[in-house]
Structure 1
Amino acid sequence: MQTITKTKMPAVTLEERIQLIQIGDEHLRDKIIKVYQPFIKKVVSKVCNRFIDHSMDEYSIGLFAFNEAINQYKTGQGSKFLTFADMVIRRRIIDYIRKESRRNKAIHLVHTEIEDDTQQEESFIEQKAAIEYFEEQKQITERLEQIEAYEEMLKDYGITFKSLSKHCPKHIDARENAKKIANILVSNQALVSYLKEKKQLPIKELLQYVSCSRKTIERNRKYIIALSLIYLGGFYALQPYVEPETF
């Protein structure tokens, strides 16, 4: 009896679902908005720095902003949809807080009332949210720019992000050992010169400074080079990748 092998269909990404919505699948739009209501509420609550429930104006604005993000998102723009949606929601909530703050100030001028604790809290939240939003967007921009520059640098050494993911050591101790080797390399000008000129890892020379075997270095060659380039390129946004991991 012939056995029928079922072919596993590839999972559909959220970004692909957003594309389907943009070409007219309104049923899917409603489903996505419903599924991601907790995400929307979480982002809004973080900006407002307080608990937000479904009855509040801020939550409604978050829903509209999420829907706006669905309409405006473009694939290949350098970020995942949820990152983009987070940014749009934050922007709309901050705009709302600013408008409310201006309205409250206008009422204050008309009635010559002393600004109460609630207005002070809103003003504080507005300033805090605006600062956090600015810093976050600045970090995202810098990180994307550094990732692009890092990707170009890796190409000179015949390394791609895809190949790097395959050569990343699975065990924490192996990754930590590779980081130590990369640190030794970038601290030695002769080894750095060899790496830059030959576009290869100076394995023979490294063996004079490390206790691991040649086989270990060769097995993690691409990973060590990639870590070394983070140091040498000054990619501080990628620094977490070369810092010790928590066991």
Structure 2
Amino acid sequence: MSVSQLAMGGNINYPLEMNVFRAQQGDESLRNKIIESYQPFIKKVVSKVCNRFIDQTMDEFSVGLVAFNEAITQYRKGQGSKFLTFADMVIRRRIIDFIRKESRQVRHIYLDQTKTDEDNEMEESYVEQRAAIDYYEESCKISERMDQIDSYRKLLLEYGITFDVLSRHCPKHADARENAKISAKILVGHPELIRFLKKKKQLPIKDLLQFVSCSRKTIERNRKYIIALALIYIGGFSALTSYIEPESVPVH
């Protein structure tokens, strides 16, 4: 079975990600088919990390197989990357860890602990690989943040708020922004207030006043800002929670 035909019953209409999710549900036969079909991919990734040809008899290839299986188990929807991109990262991590472990064991054998040029080159390779992985992970975080900002923008529009409007309604004083943040957190802590907000697309000012120390005038003046903060919590925008500070919200 070719890679493009990998699916239950050889149906090419099943995307790889769907097959991965089916395998996660306990379809061991499908899991084995995925691993078998993607052995050339695994070998290619392992060879790149090791910077030399790797065949199926080598320990490095076995580590790659285990890592690919681990990727099948750990892959999740909505994490901002395709399965093969995620699998590539997992394999690289495990191979680098394996090489480091093997290198430490070999160095331990030599009592003089003298580093050769080859040792130094290997360590530099580790640094480069780790830097590449760190760069990839940061790129994934940026991609996830951009996706969440776009979803957040669309959600705000349902409440008649744009980023431009939000920037104009952002309180100028730090204490006012902090009070708005507190009000938003109090709102999301009460299901009845959340239901009102979602249904009416308006801030439940009257009910909210029962739980906050701010005046009605203050709440009304900052209502759009409070709604925007509350929606970050309600929408589960985990990549944006760092913006919920006295200084700013994601308006760019």
> TM-score category by the smaller chain?
0.5 to 0.7
| Aligned-residue offset at 1:114 | 3.5
Corresponding position of 2:97:
95
Which of 33, 36, 43 does residue 34 from structure 1 map onto? Answer: 36
Query: Superposition pairs for residues 1-247 of structure 1, below 5 Å?
Result: 11-108=13-110, 110=111, 112=112, 114-154=114-154, 196=164
CA distance in 1, matches of 2:136, 2:51: 16
SS at the partner of 1:151? Answer: helix
**Retained in 2: the 8 A contact 1:48–1:125?**
no
CA displacement 1:193-238 (0-9 Å, x = unmatched):
xx946xxxxxxxxxxxxxxxxxxxxxxxxxxxxxxxxxxx76xxxx
SS at the partner of 1:51? Answer: coil
CA distance in 2, matches of 1:135, 1:123: 18
CA displacement 1:3-45 (0-9 Å, x = unmatched):
xxxxxx9921212211222222222122111111122122222
CA distance in 2, matches of 1:53, 1:117: 26
| Aligned-residue offset at 1:104 | 2.8
CA distance in 2, matches of 1:91, 1:36: 18
CA distance in 1, matches of 2:76, 2:51: 29
Q: TM-score scaled to structure 2, two decimals?
A: 0.53
CA distance in 2, matches of 1:61, 1:24: 22
Quote the sequence identity (%). Answer: 47
CA distance in 2, matches of 1:53, 1:125: 21
Summarize the Cα distance change of 1:157–1:51 in structure 2 as closer, same or farther, 3 Å threshold: farther
CA displacement 1:120-145 (0-9 Å, x = unmatched):
33222212111111111111112211
CA distance in 2, matches of 1:136, 1:144: 12
Summarize the Cα distance change of 1:156–1:24 in structure 2 as closer, same or farther, 3 Å threshold: closer
Runs (4 or more) in structure 1 with deviation over 4 Å come to: 154-158
CA distance in 2, matches of 1:69, 1:128: 22
SS at the partner of 2:131? Answer: helix
**Retained in 2: the 8 A contact 1:48–1:129?**
no
Name the amino acid aligned to 2:100.
R
CA distance in 2, matches of 1:156, 1:38: 46
SS at the partner of 1:75? Answer: coil
Name the amino acid aligned to 1:16.
M
Summarize the Cα distance change of 1:52–1:121 in structure 2 as closer, same or farther, 3 Å threshold: farther
Q: TM-score scaled to structure 1, two decimals?
A: 0.54
| Aligned-residue offset at 1:146 | 1.8
Backbone CA RMSD of aligned residues: 2.9
Gaps of 5+ in 1: 1-8, 159-194, 198-232, 235-247
CA distance in 2, matches of 1:42, 1:50: 10
SS at the partner of 1:149? Answer: helix
CA distance in 2, matches of 1:31, 1:143: 31
